[in-house]
Structure 1
Amino acid sequence: MPARRDVPQKTNTDLRERILDALRELLRERTFDTLSVAEIITAAGVSRASFYFYFAGKQAVLAEVVRRAVGAGHAAAQPWTQGRPGPRETLRAGIDAGAGLWLSNAAVLRAIVESWASDSQLRELWLAQMATFTDAAVTRIEADRRADPAVAARLDGVDVPALAASLTWTGERLYYLAACAVPPFDDRTVLVDTLTHLWVSALYG
């Protein structure tokens, strides 16, 4: 007798992906706090046993899709964070790619931004994920400060981790507003121009 499709198997990634896809689709129409595990299970077409084989709860499902989006965000930012030449140009390219990433993952990223303050698991997740962007920015800023006397002079006496965190969290807020179609940041050019100006002005003058 052939095995049921929803019987948990460690090698069966299809079930896991169906659960992740189901949450993404549900979030297009619903807020995360109104969703139940039962609704995710129904949308994914899997059994309750299958769901709990892969995930401890709905927060764990959201955590996985958020981690994937953040991973894509780091990939987008690599030209600047890895110290490639032309910091202004690579910054703008990374910011624009980040805007595209947020828009393509708008439902998921709105869910984490709107939920992390009221859920301890999601709070820990989002603060940790945001810290990875801040840490990457600190590494690049410190490298620029060592390599460029003008940057060193500009940042003299500046708390670099605090500056990096401020820029990172400002980006999070403006990307979120764009994902919610809030003017003027629903215009991608305005969003990218504004964030690029903030980063370049703070770091390079």
Structure 2
Amino acid sequence: MPDPVKAGRRRTAAPSKGDLREQQILDVLEDLLAVKSFDSLTTSDIAERAGLSRASTYFYFSSKQEALVALFARTVESLREKSRAAAGDPAAPRDAIATAMTRTRDRWHEHGLIMRVAIDQASTIPELGTLWTETADVFIDAITTILVRADVASHEGPDGARALAGALCWMIERTFYHASAVSPEALDQASETCRVVWLRTAGLEP
């Protein structure tokens, strides 16, 4: 399995032919997951859709599990960037919360399927769980920062800002997970509900 951090790290140099081929394989995997379950998917399916031989596909990824880790790393890197942006957002807490929820909702609209598959597979592919936990930690940091700016106490304990941020983060994750599997409209509604919960936790009126 690849190093999750390395897999999710953005390259600064122009992509090589090999880099482009690797990204093509990940794009194909994402497309296939829209029509086939991960458990029933094979490396041959990926190779055929990508127009490659199995041997060529194995040159880039030793298994479909390794490819899924790389695809998930690519997906959550954007979530991490948006969470870091939320932590540094100079807007009033109410507006910062709205922006953070909109950005998170949009990412789930775009890649909700991949995130659900990765969450489902995390029990058997530990690298996925590590990536998701690390991404959640970045989001928790952002939520904590916004709560403190809204005058929520930052002390240790179950009612401190970070404890509340952790609960909010995982509430949002579970809510988005289920809603994104229903419909885009359900995800929009879930996002609004989570925004209201976050506002009330921050002591702000919706």
Give the structure-2-normalised TM-score: 0.77
2:91 matched residue in structure 1: 85
Task: Pick from 32, 37, 40 the counterpart of residue 34 of structure 1.
Answer: 40
- Asked if structure 1 preserves the Cα contact closer than 8 Å seen for 2:144 and 2:162, the reply is yes
Q: Cα 1:14–1:140, aligned 2, differ >3 Å: closer, same or farther?
A: same
- Asked if structure 2 preserves the Cα contact closer than 8 Å seen for 1:20 and 1:65, the reply is yes
Supply the RMSD in Å over aligned alpha carbons. 2.7
Shift >6 Å, 4+ stretches: none
In 2, the alpha carbon distance for the partners of 1:101 and 1:201 equals: 24
In 1, the alpha carbon distance for the partners of 2:172 and 2:62 equals: 31
In 1, the alpha carbon distance for the partners of 2:170 and 2:116 equals: 14
What's the CA shift for 1:189?
Answer: 4.0
1:5 matched residue in structure 2: none
What's the CA shift for 1:204?
Answer: 3.4
1:94 matched residue in structure 2: 100
- Asked if structure 2 preserves the Cα contact closer than 8 Å seen for 1:37 and 1:57, the reply is yes
In 1, the alpha carbon distance for the partners of 2:83 and 2:135 equals: 14
In 2, the alpha carbon distance for the partners of 1:14 and 1:74 equals: 23
What's the CA shift for 1:19?
Answer: 0.6
The alignment-based identity, stated in percent, is 27
2:7 matched residue in structure 1: none
- Asked if structure 2 preserves the Cα contact closer than 8 Å seen for 1:18 and 1:44, the reply is yes
1:175 matched residue in structure 2: 176
Task: Pick from 79, 82, 95 the counterpart of residue 76 of structure 1.
Answer: 82
* One-letter amino acid of the counterpart of residue 34, structure 2: R
* One-letter amino acid of the counterpart of residue 200, structure 1: L
Q: Cα 1:117–1:25, aligned 2, differ >3 Å: closer, same or farther?
A: same
Q: Cα 1:34–1:162, aligned 2, differ >3 Å: closer, same or farther?
A: farther
In 2, the alpha carbon distance for the partners of 1:129 and 1:78 equals: 10
In 2, the alpha carbon distance for the partners of 1:129 and 1:76 equals: 11
In 1, the alpha carbon distance for the partners of 2:91 and 2:53 equals: 51
Matches within 5 A, 1:37-48: 37-48=43-54
Give the structure-1-normalised TM-score: 0.78
In 2, the alpha carbon distance for the partners of 1:91 and 1:179 equals: 20
Instruction: For residue 62 of structure 2, give the secondary structure of its aligned residue in structure 1.
Output: coil
- Asked if structure 2 preserves the Cα contact closer than 8 Å seen for 1:59 and 1:121, the reply is no
- Asked if structure 1 preserves the Cα contact closer than 8 Å seen for 2:119 and 2:129, the reply is no
What's the CA shift for 1:93?
Answer: 1.8
Per-residue displacement from partner, 1:100-142 (whole Å, max 9, x unpaired)? 2111112211211222123333333322332332234335545
* One-letter amino acid of the counterpart of residue 33, structure 1: D
* One-letter amino acid of the counterpart of residue 30, structure 2: R
Matches within 5 A, 1:3-22: 11-22=17-28
Q: Which has the larger radius of gyration?
A: 1
Gaps of 5+ in 1: 1-9
2:129 matched to 1:123? yes
What's the CA shift for 1:94?
Answer: 1.7
* One-letter amino acid of the counterpart of residue 81, structure 2: A
- Asked if structure 1 preserves the Cα contact closer than 8 Å seen for 2:28 and 2:46, the reply is yes
2:71 matched to 1:60? no
In 1, the alpha carbon distance for the partners of 2:188 and 2:147 equals: 25
